[in-house]
Every structure is written in C-alpha cells, then in structure tokens.
Amino acid sequence: MLSSEAFVTTEDGVRLFVRSVGSGSRPVIIPSASFLSDAFRRLAAADRTLVFYDLRNRGRSDHVDDSSKLARGIQHDVDDLEAVRAHVGVSGVDLIGHSYMGLMVALHAMKYPAHVRRVVQIAPAAPYHGRKYPAHLTGADETLMDISAKLAQLQANRQFEDPQALGQKMWGLMRMLYVADPADADKVFWPTDLPNESAANVMKHWSENIAPSIERLNLTAEDLAGVKVPVLIIHGVKDRHAPYGGAREWAIGLPDARLVTIDDAAHMPWIEAPDAVFNSIATFLGGAWPEAALRIT
C-alpha cells in the first residue's frame, strides 16, 4: 500500500504534518495522524486514500508560540482542515473526526458544505456546550471520580514534579478513562515522545485556546440542520469524556444522520469493539448505512 508524508502550509504559515496511505480516487481526511494512523489504516481500500494529518501545535505539525495563531482554537482547526482538503485537490472528501475533532469536522461541513461528501463522528463532543444529561447518558462512574481526584492532586503538586515524569503519571491515569474495561488501558496509544504531545503543551493549548473556543460556539438547531450530507455517529455508552447524550443530540439534530451505539465501550470505541467500529465506517464510506446505524428521534 502506497504511503507518503508531507507538510501543508496554512495561510498564516503553520506547517501541518500529513501522512497519506493508498492511491484511491476518494480521499478520506482524518485529523490526528500521530494518534490514529496506525489503528485506522485498516480502512484503506482500493478506491480510497486515507489522508491523516496533525492539528497545529500537535503531533508532528509545527509547534506554535505565537498566541495569535492559536487564539481561534477550534476555528483554526476548521480552516486547517480546509487547507489539507485543498492540498488533496478534490472538492468532495469524506471526513472522520474523533472526540472534539468529531465536533470540528461537523463545523467544517457547516462552513464548507460544497467540499464534503460524508462525515463520520466518533465519540464527538456534544453540539451544545454545557448541556446537562441524565446520569445514564454521561458515563460518569466511580472510576471517573477516582481518576479525576488523582489528576487534581497531581496538578496541585506539579511544581514539585519533573515535567516529563508528571506527564507520564498523568497519562498513566488518563488512559484509564478512555476505555470501559481497565484491562484495555494499555491499548490506548499516546505519542508522548513528541514534544507537542507533552502534558504541559497539550494542557496549555487545550485550556487557553481549544476549550474557550468551544464554549464560544453557541451552536443552534438551525446550524445542525444546515449539514445536509450523510453523517454516521459512533459512540460508546460508557464514554466519560464526551457524553453519549451528546451523540444522540447530534443524531436528532442533523438532517441525515444515524447512530451506532457501542454498549461496552468508552471514549475510544475502536479499542474495545474494533470490528463493529471499522466495519460500520467501511460500510458507510462505501455508500450504505451499516445495519447497526439507527435513526434517533
């Protein structure tokens, strides 16, 4: 299978790392190359090219010190995705986004509707920030409370910790939250060897740029109704990071969307149910709805 790497330069001069896999005529763009390219390579097919890339200030993309090139947060990510799409040179692409990038790819479809064919959201952040859901739609459990308390303690004592050691301790705790079964925690991959993926850089960028920009979105039902392309949502019921209730709201609010529910999975459902996740995506990218995908009303 053909594979190549390159950098795409955005309008404001930030270089984004891009890894392409395959030579098919239908590009599928997937943010977070450094996290997802190994696991998601199984989606490669004769008619598809998988285009993975790292977000600005993340992974192998440029580290950014200029705050003006980070302040727009998720809106920078939306436009950077469009820069990658333009680099691909095809007007109609498929998009796959995980976690807050599941929200981001939907924003891209809202802003650039003519350039998107199909969208897959995996464990997406909820469309309406701050919305409260019933407990059974949140994934909140004793593990979340325990790990959250330990992370808070680490943060409180971070001035006494070596930054690299602190990052390793935090990651050792956080990965427990990404899976429903603690035995699967070792399967969660984080490229901690990359400088952009240090705990200090990730937390700073998230707290100062990404999270505030998501809070400012203020999406409406009309915004969701403007996404006319088919959208497949895949979400674990036990997700502690992005509530399952948010996935249901996406499925209800988007005009042409269906939801695949993974009962015994958390924030990275492909780890605990790989066949269900990847087979559903492959079916959807092939032009059909997977059997497990349901309309939500």
Looking at per-residue pLDDT, the higher value among 91 and 219 belongs to: 219
Pick from 214, 254, 263, 211: nearest CA to 120 = 254
Question: Which uninterrupted H or E stretch holds 21?
Answer: strand 15-21
The rounded distance, in Å, linking the Cα atoms of 263 and 253 is: 22
pLDDT tens for 56-86 read 999 999 999 999 999 999 999 999 999 999 9
Query: Which DSSP string corresponds to 37-96?
Result: HHHHGGG--TTEEEEEEPPTTSTTSPP---GGGTTTTHHHHHHHHHHHHHHHT-SSEEEE
Q: What is the largest CA-CA distance in the chain?
A: 54
pLDDT tens for 91-127 read 899 999 999 999 999 999 999 999 999 999 999 999 9
User: CA-CA distances (angstroms) from residue 160 to 94, 110, 113, 171, 201?
Assistant: 46, 45, 49, 17, 18
Query: Does residue 274 register a pLDDT over 90?
Result: yes
Q: Give 3-137+212-285's CATH code, choosing from 3.30.530.20, 3.40.50.1820, 1.10.260.40, 3.30.310.80.
A: 3.40.50.1820
Mean pLDDT of 34-39: 95
- Domain residue limits, the chain: 3-137+212-285
Contact 44, 21 (CB under 8 A): yes
Query: Does residue 181 register a pLDDT over 80?
Result: yes
pLDDT tens for 40-53 read 999 999 899 999 99
The rounded distance, in Å, linking the Cα atoms of 43 and 284 is: 11
Say what the pLDDT of residue 159 is.
67
Query: Who's near 37: CB < 8 A, 6+ residues apart?
Result: 19, 21, 30, 50, 52
Average pLDDT, the chain: 94
Say what the pLDDT of residue 41 is.
95
Contact 202, 228 (CB under 8 A): no
Contact 19, 53 (CB under 8 A): yes
Query: Does residue 55 register a pLDDT over 80?
Result: yes
- The length of the chain, given as a count of residues: 297
Classified as helix, coil or strand, 73 is coil
Say what the pLDDT of residue 162 is.
76
Contact 267, 99 (CB under 8 A): yes
The rounded distance, in Å, linking the Cα atoms of 219 and 57 is: 25
Pick from 116, 118, 125: nearest CA to 43 = 118
Classified as helix, coil or strand, 49 is strand
Phi/psi-derived region of residue 263, left when phi > 0, alpha when psi is between -120 and 50, beta in every other case: alpha
Query: Does residue 164 register a pLDDT over 90?
Result: no
